[in-house]
Amino acid sequence: MKSVPLVKSSQSCDQDVSSQGVITRALCHEVHTFRPFSSETGGATTEVSQKLTFSKELKAHRDSSFYSGMDFL
């Protein structure tokens, strides 16, 4: 017997890139459906929409103390 995946997910993104290669806008949409509690007409579903818009470019700061206390991933 083969098990059915519990979650069905989809994701799509659109990006705008400037002539300098900078992403100026990104729009993403995700849909996640928990299959055991879902049907064709409804169920346990989450939808996530994200929008990222470029606002300005900052030049790197030469003084390393400028970055103290900042968290980078």
Residue 72: pLDDT over 60? no
Task: For the chain, give every domain's residue range.
Answer: 1-45
What average pLDDT does this structure show over 21-48? 86
First to last CA, the chain: 42
Cα(52)–Cα(15) distance, integer angstroms: 9
What average pLDDT does this structure show over 53-70? 72
pLDDT band at 23 (very low <50, low <70, confident <90, very high): very high
Residue 16: pLDDT over 90? yes
Residue 2: pLDDT over 90? no
- Specify the 3-state DSSP secondary structure of 65: helix
Q: Are 29 and 52 in contact (CB under 8 A)?
A: no
What average pLDDT does this structure show over 23-28? 96
